Structure 1
Amino acid sequence: MAARLEHEEFAKYLHEKFRIRLNEQTIEAELTEISEHLVSPRQERFSIVFRTSNEMLLEQGQRPFEHDQMGNFELFIVPIGRDEDGTYYEAVFNRLVKKK
């Protein structure tokens, strides 16, 4: 089953652990933030932020994610900051709304 990459779906798993696959390595990432879900007649927008440890800095790019309930999916993430708690990565969703 394909993962539902929707605002409501991510909101269910706020503060849960996800895994980012890097070749033979797996990096743990906590979903720390979900922005407001903005919807207009033509598009929807939201963003999510993950935090990893500071052990490895990932460059921006398409990354394979895993989650026990959501399954496997890919996100384009961008590093947006770093502090003593970890490194933060953002994924932005900006897509057209399907006409019914």
Structure 2
Amino acid sequence: MAEASLLFYKSAVGESFQVLGTEPLFELELIQVDDRGQAGGFEQFALVFRGPEALFLPQQTVMLRHPEIEDETVFVVPIGKDTDGYRYEAVYSRQVQA
């Protein structure tokens, strides 16, 4: 399996991630990756997802599933809504492997 890193997420733009533990189950589409650089051995980036217009996900920690990486716990925050659905952001500061 791939590592859930900035490089992986950049390659996964346009792909869907299943949100686990919600009723009903639904998916978020990764629509944007913002590279915020590296500092002190950490890569910093933000992911922007789009979810369905009919389902709102409040700010919370969720488990995301993608077939290429292990399930990952992520804190998502709703950042707006457009004609295609709700948008959510997850911000990362992840230690870079030496």
Correspondence 1:21-100 to 2 at 5 A: 21-95=20-94
RMSD of aligned residue pairs (Cα, Å): 2.0
Partner of 1:16: 15
Superposition TM-score, scaled by structure 1 size: 0.83
Superposition TM-score, scaled by structure 2 size: 0.85
Give 1:13 shift. 0.9
The alignment covers a number of residue pairs equal to 98
Which runs of 5 or more residues in structure 1 are unaligned?
Answer: none
Identity %: 31
Which runs of 5 or more residues in structure 2 are unaligned?
Answer: none
In the aligned structure 1, how far is the partner of 2:24 from the partner of 2:79? 22
In the aligned structure 1, how far is the partner of 2:96 from the partner of 2:71? 24
Instruction: Assess if the C-alpha contact under 8 Å between 2:16 and 2:28 holds in 1.
Output: yes
Partner of 2:6: 7
Give 1:74 shift. 1.1
Change (3 A) 1:28 1:96: closer
Instruction: Assess if the C-alpha contact under 8 Å between 2:6 and 2:43 holds in 1.
Output: no
